[in-house]
Amino acid sequence: MNKKINTTLIICAVFLFCAVSCNNNNNQTSENMETENNTNSTSVLPRGERGSSDWFTGEVYVQGLVKPEEIEGLYSVGQVTFEPGGKTNWHTHPIGQVLLVTEGKGWYQERGKPAQPLTPGTVVTIPKDVEHWHGAAKDSKMVHIAISNIQDSSAVTWLNPVTDEEYNDL
Ligand code: MN
C-alpha cells in the first residue's frame, strides 16, 4: 500500500516538474523573441527593418505590408514603428498619404502649423505636396500604418531632418 502511494507521489512529482520546466521553457522562448525583436510592441505585424538615417532621425523601423506590384503600383502600404524621439524628416507625398495610428503617442506636423498629437485610433489625412513630418513623442513610442499613393514610381520626396529646436518646442 505504502509502496503504491510512494510510486503515485513520484509520478505526480515528475509530472509537476515537467509541467513547470516546460512552462519555463515557453517563457524563455517568448523572452528571447522579445529580446531579438528588441521591442515591447503589441503589434500583430513584424517590426521590420531599421529605417535609413537619410530619412529618419532616431530609432525607426519600417515593415512593408503590400508589394506595390500587387496593387498596380498605385499604393505603398507599410507599418512604421518609431521608438521614443524617433521621427521622419520633413517630406511631401506626390498624391497624399493616410496614417492610421495603432500604438503609443506621437506627433504630426505640417510646416507652419501647430503639431497635432497622435494616439491609437488617430487617422491623419495628408494632402498632396504638403510639407510635414510624423514621429514618436519624447517619452513614448508610436506605431502607425501608412498608406501612400505612388506617382511616377515615388511615394515620397524627402527633405531636411526635423531640428531639435522644432521638436523640443512641442
Ligand atoms: Mn508622411
The 10s digit of each residue's pLDDT in 64-118 is: 999 888 888 899 999 999 999 999 999 999 999 999 999 999 999 999 999 999 9
Question: Which of 12-16, 56-60, 105-109, 113-117 shows the lowest per-residue confidence on average (mean pLDDT)?
Answer: 12-16
- Say how many Å lie between the CA of residue 142 and the centre of ligand 1: 14
- What is residue 39's predicted lDDT score, i.e. its pLDDT? 54
What nine digits make up the cell of 19? 509541467
Share of the chain above pLDDT 90, in %: 68
Average pLDDT, rounded, for the chain: 83
- Say how many Å lie between the CA of residue 127 and the centre of ligand 1: 10
- Say how many Å lie between the CA of residue 136 and the centre of ligand 1: 13
- Say how many Å lie between the CA of residue 1 and the centre of ligand 1: 76
Report in angstroms the alpha-carbon separations of 5 from 1, 17, 85: 6, 18, 62
- pLDDT-derived band at 40 (thresholds 50, 70, 90) equals low
- What is residue 95's predicted lDDT score, i.e. its pLDDT? 95
Q: Beta strand pairing status for 91-92 and 75-82?
A: unpaired
- Determine how many CB atoms are found less than 10 A away from the CB of residue 139: 9
- What is residue 34's predicted lDDT score, i.e. its pLDDT? 39
Phi, psi (deg, nearest 5) at residue 121? 100, -15
Q: Rounded CA gap, 39 and 75, in Å?
A: 28
- What is residue 10's predicted lDDT score, i.e. its pLDDT? 40
What distance, in Å, lies between the first and last C-alpha atoms of the chain?
77
* 3-class DSSP assignment, residue 145: strand
- Which residues line ion ligand 1, judged by CB < 5 Å? 97
Residue ranges with strand state E in 19-152? 49-50, 56-57, 60-66, 75-82, 87-88, 91-92, 96-104, 106-110, 116-118, 123-127, 132-136, 142-149
- Say how many Å lie between the CA of residue 124 and the centre of ligand 1: 10
Q: Rounded CA gap, 170 and 150, in Å?
A: 31
Q: Rounded CA gap, 25 and 170, in Å?
A: 44
pTM for this prediction = 0.76
Give me the amino acid identity at 49: E
User: What is the torsional sign of CA 40, 44, 49, 52?
Assistant: negative
